[in-house]
Structure 1
Amino acid sequence: MKLQSHNHNNHGANKTTSFYKWLLCLSLSLYFSTSYLITTSPPPPSPSQPPHNTKPSPQRTLFETPWSSSLKNLRIFVYDLPSKFNTDWLTNQRCSTHLFASEVAIHRALLTSHVRTFDPYDADFFFVPVYVSCNFSTVNGFPAIGHARSLISSAVKLISDRFPFWNRSHGRDHVFVASHDFGSCFHTLEDVAIADGVPEIMRKSIVLQTFGVTYKHPCQEVENVVIPPYVSPENLRTTVDKLPANWQRDIWVFFRGKMEVHPKNVSGRYYSKKVRTMIWRKFSGDRRFYLQRHRFAGYQSEIARSVFCLCPLGWAPWSPRLVESVALGCVPVIIADGIRLPFSSAVRWPEISLTVAERDVGKLAEILERVAATNLSDIQRNLWDPMTKKALLFNERVHEGDATWQVLRSLSEKLDRSLRSSRVSRQLDFAT
């Protein structure tokens, strides 16, 4: 396996030792054998010295790991809502696989998780499974999320009429997922989202959302946890399985996606704040940059062949390319000023990625050349940590360290919002 094979990456290539190649192969093998699939078969013994030029082993094993003490006492009650709020939406098959599908994945994982309780009086938090993003990105590319606010309001009315838990806390211990562009604002255009703000009914709740920025923004003026966009572990596994034996990273800089020649669309808004247009205009003629404007179902194989993967903002700052790049070992080049990245306590983003200011996008070539000549090997070594990849992927069942587990850990840090935990704490104080 060759990570630094491009002609413009000579300094980095000279640093690639045979041991490092073996280390990366082993990391991939461990990652895909412990994160993707659940089977009952025991894991095979790890090879002591895998060949240098073999692709990752397509193992089908996932090691069960004990839950850490920080989560073993966490309790979550999952409301059993009528199917119109969630599973009816799954008639659209893309609902459970597209980049907004974390709302589906988290719901499914919680249903079989260790933290689920069937006794609502024993719960710290209450999960409200409303799928508002299922039809967000339709096949024709047009967003459809106008139903979100009314659907959530209807769900809240239902649970507040039937149960006492919403009313007793005014929703402080209730959890929703908003896995689309501007999260809890529930609109596809930022200016309208800002004007609408977070729905009043949810302002006291906890929202798991892909949107997050480091500056003040109306769409995060609610207790929130930034989560990664959904990327299918099965698709990633298939990509790795199909890699040829002589797999090489022969693409220096990669991006495939929407790059408008004229960034101002029919709404009068500038897509990607002109960043993607600048990338296309500046580097489409540069042979070091592999830039494609059209869809390709197998584009993950291109990521696996690339050293640097551009992750520019679109309408919103986040992108599924962040997860795909990390999972496939391509250095993410984040171009989205002020983005707040998911699970920063588990994912050492400064050590596995590059951040380029939007105003410096025209200097990408010089910036990446400098990195290739200095610390690229260090970044790649950090990038191949299997636990880093695991933290960004949602599995069918919760396993320690994966994305749903990271959500639960984040919730465990908000137990001051739990009436159950507050009662237990008071009882302990009284006893002492």
Structure 2
Amino acid sequence: MQPPKMAISMSKKKSRPSKRVVEVEELGFYHTVLYKFLYRAPATLLLLILLFLWSSTTTIISGNIVHVCVSSRKLNNLYCLSAGAQPNFEIPTPVINSSLSNPAGTSGNVKEIVNIVREDPSPIIKNSIDKTRDEEVANAVKDVEEQLRIHRSWKSNSNLATCDGRGIFVYDLPPKFNKDLVGQCGDMIPWTHFCEYFNNEALGEPIWKLGKGWYQTHQYSLEPIFHSRVLRHPCRVYNENEAKLFFVPFYGGLDILRWHFKSVTNDVKDTLALDLVKWLESQGPWIRNSGKDHVLVLGKISWDFRRNINSSWGTRLLELDQLQNPIKLLIERQPWHINDIGIPHPTHFHPHSDDDIIAWQSKIIQSNRKSLVSFAGGARPDASENIRSILIKQCTATDNKKCRFLDCNSGGCDRPESVVELFMESEFCLQPQGDSPTRKSVFDSLVSGCIPVLFDPFTAYYQYPWHLPEDHGKYSVFINQEEVRQMKVNVVERLMKVSVKEREDMRRYIVYELFPGLVYGDSDSKFEKFQDAFSITVNNLLERVSRLESVV
């Protein structure tokens, strides 16, 4: 089942005769305005488009600058396309408004609606603009898909990295950029013993109940995990003149996390990012190629590093001009930036060898799946557009053989083994988006052999071109969230119609084709038969650097 290209909804209410207040509602989280098309559009058509945008989104005029903004309440963002007197359009950037009381670095649920009073356009103009808008949305999604096609073109054809002439140089950054941040773990999240998650080279404490290779890994531990692995990579070189790829081990996610629950100025939040740029600009390899052969791994979502000047959330790291050329590997990419690449969230499984992978494959393929459907999560009562409450209601209206619900709001998900065991006993795992489109739980379900059910294409389909296939039907089921929101579909009943053979085919593909490439091996792992998520990522980076060099 193929996902729709874009889901758009908005509500409008009368405020006085011939005028209306436009409330900007959810637009499928990522509403993309096709700036290239606007640039090429004739003046008349451009005017029609702007008139439509005036009536259906938030249009703010400041001087000779037009700002077309779309609100997403999942991150409380305004995504703005700004146009001046000349046809010079900027890529949309987030304006985030958030409360410091928001937990664990998510972007809050404070509902913000922008009210603009506008004259109603005439029906003739509106009909013409509706058609134009549909074309714009379709073309916008094509742009996102084209970026993913480019990312996939960088994939290495070899299962094993050849290091001949492709050395990896790991910068020995001053400790304030990484080790010292880990040292502040005790003060990062007030209600969590966060330091425990950095034991065993950031894998966390072992989970013996699940077996060998299972750890209490935190979802924001990707930066030190990746750093430990790259330090031991066989292609690592110690002479920068022998390197083709330069790894910058900056723990930017931990830098952000330490300020989430403290009242500090934006200047304080940006201090380390600016210091990093200053440090890099003093390095010869950076100067030679303007950072194009450099890579950063960031363990939080892209939006946390793209703070707008009108916001207080996160840092401006990825908005700095100097950091536009390097590749940024993130657990959630920003779809308008070609150098943002999504890589898997870290799961709790970190195999050491091929045998560990094979043993787990055997276990999950034979697992007794007692329930058809399960959902591990919590409702979002303060986000009316979120479909979680509907899914919970549909699930709990049946018996446990059809659907089981694990309430994370009541602490049911505090123990990772509870979630993994639930997924191992389920055919399908519901994966609605939370405070942002992506969800670590998607990877937890895949590692458990549970078929993920997705409701937004940005949850996975537009995120991970190196680790998930373009044919999404091989490993997942897609159900349009608008159909759920409008009560047009009962998800449990829909999944009951998926045949046993279809389930088995998807599960075998997940277990034997996808699973090994979705987990990060431990720091000393040795794989001969398989590539894990780390190996796939580094091999593709080396391939990209080689191609860049041949072009230059």
Distance (whole Å) between structure 2 residues aligned to residue 412 and residue 249 of structure 1: 40
Question: Alpha-carbon deviation of 1:130?
Answer: 0.8
Distance (whole Å) between structure 1 residues aligned to residue 292 and residue 367 of structure 2: 50
Runs of 5+ consecutive residues of structure 1 not aligned to the other structure: 1-65, 265-272, 427-432
Question: Scaled by the length of structure 2, what TM-score is found?
Answer: 0.54
Distance (whole Å) between structure 2 residues aligned to residue 120 and residue 389 of structure 1: 35
Distance (whole Å) between structure 2 residues aligned to residue 87 and residue 232 of structure 1: 22
Question: Alpha-carbon deviation of 1:68?
Answer: 2.2
Runs of 5+ consecutive residues of structure 2 not aligned to the other structure: 1-157, 186-194, 203-216
| 2:253 aligned residue | 133
Distance 1:131 1:331, change over 3 A: same
Question: Alpha-carbon deviation of 1:368?
Answer: 0.7
Distance 1:212 1:307, change over 3 A: same
Pairing partner for 1:359 from 459, 468, 482:
482
Question: Alpha-carbon deviation of 1:341?
Answer: 3.7
Distance (whole Å) between structure 2 residues aligned to residue 369 and residue 248 of structure 1: 17
Distance 1:83 1:111, change over 3 A: same
Q: Does residue 158 in structure 1 map to residue 256 in structure 2?
A: no
The answer to whether the 8 A contact 1:309-1:332 is kept is: yes
Pairing partner for 1:84 from 176, 182, 188:
176
**In the TM superposition, what whole-angstrom CA distance separates every residue of 1:36-79 from its partner, at most 9, and x where no partner exists?**
xxxxxxxxxxxxxxxxxxxxxxxxxxxxxx96255654321110
The answer to whether the 8 A contact 2:475-2:509 is kept is: yes
| 1:204 aligned residue | 325
Q: How does 1:8-407 map to 2 (within 5 A)?
A: 68=160, 73-91=165-183, 92=185, 93=195, 94=197, 96=202, 97-134=217-254, 149-161=270-282, 163-182=283-302, 185-186=305-306, 198-212=319-333, 216-217=335-336, 221-234=337-350, 248-263=368-383, 273-287=385-399, 288-291=402-405, 292-293=407-408, 294-295=410-411, 296-297=414-415, 298=417, 299-339=419-459, 340-344=462-466, 347=469, 349-361=472-484, 362=487, 363=489, 364-372=491-499, 375-385=502-512, 387-395=513-521, 396-397=523-524, 399=527, 401-407=531-537
Question: Alpha-carbon deviation of 1:101?
Answer: 1.6
The answer to whether the 8 A contact 1:182-1:316 is kept is: no
Question: Alpha-carbon deviation of 1:313?
Answer: 1.1
Distance (whole Å) between structure 1 residues aligned to residue 444 and residue 269 of structure 2: 27
The answer to whether the 8 A contact 1:225-1:407 is kept is: no
The structure with the greater share of residues assigned to strand is 2
Amino acid in structure 2 at the alignment position of 1:283: C
Question: Alpha-carbon deviation of 1:358?
Answer: 1.6
Highest CA radius of gyration, 1 or 2? 2
Distance (whole Å) between structure 2 residues aligned to residue 415 and residue 303 of structure 1: 38
Distance (whole Å) between structure 1 residues aligned to residue 279 and residue 257 of structure 2: 27
Question: Alpha-carbon deviation of 1:119?
Answer: 0.9
Distance (whole Å) between structure 1 residues aligned to residue 261 and residue 442 of structure 2: 23
The answer to whether the 8 A contact 1:262-1:277 is kept is: no
SS in 1 for 2:458: coil
**In the TM superposition, what whole-angstrom CA distance separates every residue of 1:156-214 from its partner, at most 9, and x where no partner exists?**
212322x21212222111111122123573459xx98899773322111110012137x
Distance (whole Å) between structure 2 residues aligned to residue 137 and residue 210 of structure 1: 15
Distance 1:84 1:195, change over 3 A: closer
Distance (whole Å) between structure 2 residues aligned to residue 235 and residue 329 of structure 1: 16
**In the TM superposition, what whole-angstrom CA distance separates every residue of 1:291-338 from its partner, at most 9, and x where no partner exists?**
223333032211111111111111221111121111111111122233
| 1:27 aligned residue | none
SS in 2 for 1:375: helix
Distance 1:183 1:72, change over 3 A: farther
Distance 1:331 1:155, change over 3 A: same
The answer to whether the 8 A contact 1:71-1:408 is kept is: no
The answer to whether the 8 A contact 1:184-1:207 is kept is: no
SS in 2 for 1:283: helix
SS in 2 for 1:277: helix
Aligned-residue CA RMSD (Å)? 3.8
Distance (whole Å) between structure 2 residues aligned to residue 326 and residue 235 of structure 1: 15
Distance (whole Å) between structure 1 residues aligned to residue 375 and residue 165 of structure 2: 44
| 1:410 aligned residue | 540
| 2:99 aligned residue | none
Distance (whole Å) between structure 2 residues aligned to residue 223 and residue 173 of structure 1: 11
The answer to whether the 8 A contact 2:467-2:533 is kept is: no
Aligned residues: 337
Distance 1:357 1:411, change over 3 A: same
Distance (whole Å) between structure 1 residues aligned to residue 182 and residue 229 of structure 2: 16
Distance (whole Å) between structure 2 residues aligned to residue 113 and residue 328 of structure 1: 28
Q: Structure 1 residues 129-138 or 151-160, which shifts more?
A: 129-138
SS in 1 for 2:295: strand
Question: Alpha-carbon deviation of 1:131?
Answer: 0.7
Distance 1:344 1:79, change over 3 A: closer
Question: Scaled by the length of structure 1, what TM-score is found?
Answer: 0.67
Question: Alpha-carbon deviation of 1:351?
Answer: 0.8
State the structure with bigger RCO (CA 8 A, min sep 6), 1 or 2.
1
Question: Alpha-carbon deviation of 1:409?
Answer: 2.3
